[in-house]
Chain A
Amino acid sequence: GENVGLHLPTLSVQEGDNSIINCAYSNSASDYFIWYKQESGKGPQFIIDIRSNMDKRQGQRVTVLLNKTVKHLSLQIAATQPGDSAVYFCAVFSGGYNKLIFGAGTRLAVHP
Chain B
Amino acid sequence: ETGVTQTPRHLVMGMTNKKSLKCEQHLGHNAMYWYKQSAKKPLELMFVYSLEERVENNSVPSRFSPECPNSSHLFLHLHTLQPEDSALYLCASSQDRPAGGHEQYFGPGTRLTVT
The interface residues of chain B, by DSSP majority, are classed as: loop
Of the four ranges (under 10, 10 to 19, 20 to 34, 35 or more), the interface on chain B belongs to 20 to 34
| A105 with B42: CB separation less than 8 A | yes
With A98-B98, A98-B99 already in contact, the answer to whether A103 and B42 are too (CB < 8 A) is yes
With A43-B107, A45-B2, A45-B106 already in contact, the answer to whether A98 and B42 are too (CB < 8 A) is no
Please name all residues of chain A whose beta carbon is closer than 8 Å to the beta carbon of B108 when the two chains form the complex: 41-43
B43 within 8 A of A: yes
Q: How distant is B100 from chain A, measured CB to nearest CB, in Å?
A: 8
With A98-B97, A100-B98 already in contact, the answer to whether A43 and B103 are too (CB < 8 A) is no
With A41-B108, A43-B4, A44-B90 already in contact, the answer to whether A49 and B103 are too (CB < 8 A) is yes
Please name all residues of chain B whose beta carbon is closer than 8 Å to the beta carbon of A4 when the two chains form the complex: 42
Please name all residues of chain B whose beta carbon is closer than 8 Å to the beta carbon of A41 when the two chains form the complex: 108
How many residues in A have their beta carbons less than 8 Å from beta carbons of B?
A: 24
Q: How far is the CA of A95 from the CA of B6 in the complex (A)?
A: 29
Which positions 24-47 of chain B face chain A at CB distance < 8 Å? 40-43, 45
| A46 with B42: CB separation less than 8 A | no
| A99 with B42: CB separation less than 8 A | no
Q: Mark B92-114, 1 if CB is under 8 A from A, else 0.
A: 10000111110111111100000
| A104 with B41: CB separation less than 8 A | yes
Q: How distant is B37 from chain A, measured CB to nearest CB, in Å?
A: 9
Q: How distant is A99 from chain B, measured CB to nearest CB, in Å?
A: 6
| B56 with A104: CB separation less than 8 A | no
With A43-B2, A43-B109, A44-B106 already in contact, the answer to whether A51 and B101 are too (CB < 8 A) is yes
Please name all residues of chain A whose beta carbon is closer than 8 Å to the beta carbon of B103 when the two chains form the complex: 34, 46, 49
Please name all residues of chain B whose beta carbon is closer than 8 Å to the beta carbon of A105 when the two chains form the complex: 42
> What 5 new A-B contacts, CB under 8 Å, besides A32-B98, A98-B98?
A41-B108, A43-B6, A49-B101, A95-B99, A102-B43
Q: Which residues does B use to contact A, with CB under 8 Å? A: 2, 4, 6, 40-43, 45, 48, 56, 90, 92, 97-101, 103-109
